[in-house]
Structure 1
Amino acid sequence: MTKSLITTALLTSALALTACSKVHNTEGTVQGQSFKGIINGETVSASDDIAKTTVQIFTFQVAHDDAGRALVRGVAGCTGTLLAEDILLTAAHCTTENPYYIILYFSNEAPKDFKAFMASINTNPLVRRVVGGKVGTQWPKLVSGKVGDWGDIALLKFEGGIPEGYQLAELLPAKEKLAVDQPITLAGFGITDGIKQTPSTQLLKVDVTILDPTYTKTEMVIDSGDKGPCHGDSGGPAYVTGSDGKKYVAGVTSRADVRNDPRGLCIGDTLYTKVQPHAAWIKRSMKSLQSPTFKPALIPQPQGG
């Protein structure tokens, strides 16, 4: 597995494709399902705890030519939440097999000039290199037609620590229960119009409610449509207020609810991976990623995904 962040050939290809790539979207599908950004949201101020825990993710969609050279076919944008000085929580579909093709950008504003951003990623002090990751145990087993319990959750290990001004988020404790109509705050860097594919220029958030907290054992449905997540918000946090008045991460943005948004146009409800059923997996995976004996490895992806 290559250890270079972005090779010369890779960077050249990425720059060539920037103009036509939907770099702020999580374009593409897994098993025919579209993935979901914040519509009708509000700007997250720099003093907001959400701004201090939320990070942009860029995943390079890479192919290899006959000579074995890595060529970028596109760049997909996602969102993640800081859990440790070197660990980010996101969706499994925001990962790719080779972790070195994923970078993190610590800024509450999206790159204004993506070509210039790409040219500077090896020296940009706000960019961090991903060196490993873990995906939910069900994710590598995902098959066509599976309705729920995708295991669409992931942890990314990165180098360089977190920049000044950032802090760690807390996961919803097991004792806290999720309920129908419970207020929930979503955040992300996704597009602001699912039809026009309008990219966001900054981190946004929106307050909505939980529609079904027990859609599956590991997933919940968020009441969205006229306001809520869209492409690029994938992997982003869903915050609820606990009984102690603190804000906790309860879920991770996964995908459109195909029952009322079959084309993934961000006009229906959204499925979120719940963190509570994955608490033991998160703890175990973080321990593995932070082990002194940690060695980078490929991130398992769905068969044919």
Structure 2
Amino acid sequence: MTAVRTTSALTAVTAAACAAVIATAIPSAAINSYHATPAPERTEVGALVATWDADGDPATPDRVDWVCSGTMIDADTFLTAAHCTTDWPENVRFYVSLDQDVQGGLDRAAAEHPGDPAAAARSVAVEGTARNHPGYPGPASDTHDISVVELPAEEVAARWSFTPAALPEAGALDALGPRGLNDASFVVAGYGTQEARRGPGGHTHPGGGVRMKAPVTFEALNPAWVRLGMTAPQGNGGACYGDSGGPNFATLNGRFTLVATTITGDTPCYATNVTYRLDSAGARDFLRPFVQLP
């Protein structure tokens, strides 16, 4: 079975909504510990933070957590996955942080603002508005699992310095052909947890909340998907829980390019990262109103 790469906080909120998806695939979320390294230089890569109600009183939020990963694709647009921004309680509010250690920031903010999740969120992130693909969830061939969070550019620029990720041209992965895809250098990044660890209580996924990166290799290309290998013997790392919506980069014609976003993979996070192509017509049609495409 595969697993959607979202954190436990999001999984709990969306359990009912994900039930239909789990029969075929479930979302995922973290960078494996093997062959992975911190990514402080990837300042365009950020974490999606949410506040929401969990006690039956929607008047005020009582929870805050980072839930997914994503990427700034221009000055005010954060790209992530639609399953990260749907099926939340009515009073959910979304924020984006480009900090290297989001979990550490939230821990400090919780101590500084006890009982005030909104203040904690504001201390580490900038609030925005989520825009989901109207066709999500679509069929397995193309689930339309893509979303953006629109942000106030001035507030983002006041807090972080970054260069937006370069997006691919239409059909860029098809144009590489089998040999070019096999030779391409792919890198996955995100804030997710590590691969499954055995313990007295069963498997756990430690870590998460810190921006990491790892090499991955090409496995297969479909009209809406690119599958990337993340097995350790091949020198790869990979995505896990919390990496949903996060970037998968490839060097195309000498340019470091955001070619796909993490959506799902195998449950223990050992083998395959299933990612949503950004060079497809469907992804480009969705993104066109929000960002200038190459």
Please classify the TM superposition score into its range, dividing by the shorter chain length.
0.7 to 0.9
Q: 2:246 aligns with which of 233, 236, 244?
A: 236
Q: 2:224 aligns with which of 214, 218, 233?
A: 218
1:1-305 matches, within 5 Å, as: 26-28=10-12, 29=15, 30=18, 31=20, 32=22, 33-36=25-28, 37-39=30-32, 40-46=34-40, 48=41, 51-63=42-54, 65=56, 68-72=58-62, 75-96=65-86, 101-112=93-104, 114-118=106-110, 119=113, 120-121=119-120, 124=123, 126-130=124-128, 132-139=129-136, 141-142=137-138, 146-159=139-152, 160-162=155-157, 163-174=159-170, 176-178=172-174, 179=178, 180-181=181-182, 182-195=184-197, 196-200=204-208, 202-214=210-222, 217-226=223-232, 227-243=237-253, 245-256=254-265, 261=266, 264-277=267-280, 278-286=283-291
Instruction: Note the aligned Cα RMSD (angstroms).
Output: 2.8
**Distance change (3 Å), C-alpha of 1:99 and 1:219:** farther
Q: What letter corresponds to residue 246 of structure 2 in structure 1?
A: G
Moved over 6 A (4+): 22-25
- Structure 1: gaps spanning 5 or more residues: 1-21, 288-305
- Check conservation: 1:90, 1:252, Cα contact below 8 A: yes
Quick check: which one's helix share is greater? 2
Query: What CA distance in whole angstroms lies between the structure 1 residues aligned with 2:165 and 2:73?
Result: 6
Q: How far off is 1:220 after superposition?
A: 1.6
- Check conservation: 1:194, 1:231, Cα contact below 8 A: no
SS of the aligned residue for 2:188 comes to strand
Identity, % of aligned positions? 17
Count of residue pairs the alignment pairs up: 247
- Check conservation: 1:87, 1:155, Cα contact below 8 A: yes
Q: How far off is 1:265 after superposition?
A: 2.1
SS of the aligned residue for 2:210 comes to coil
- Check conservation: 1:136, 1:151, Cα contact below 8 A: yes
Q: How far off is 1:201 after superposition?
A: 5.4
SS of the aligned residue for 1:93 comes to helix
Q: What letter corresponds to residue 146 of structure 2 in structure 1?
A: I
**Distance change (3 Å), C-alpha of 1:23 and 1:117:** farther
Q: TM-score, normalised by structure 2?
A: 0.73
- Check conservation: 2:7, 2:192, Cα contact below 8 A: no
- Check conservation: 2:103, 2:208, Cα contact below 8 A: no
Q: TM-score, normalised by structure 1?
A: 0.71
Query: What CA distance in whole angstroms lies between the structure 1 residues aligned with 2:125 and 2:49?
Result: 10
SS of the aligned residue for 1:284 comes to coil
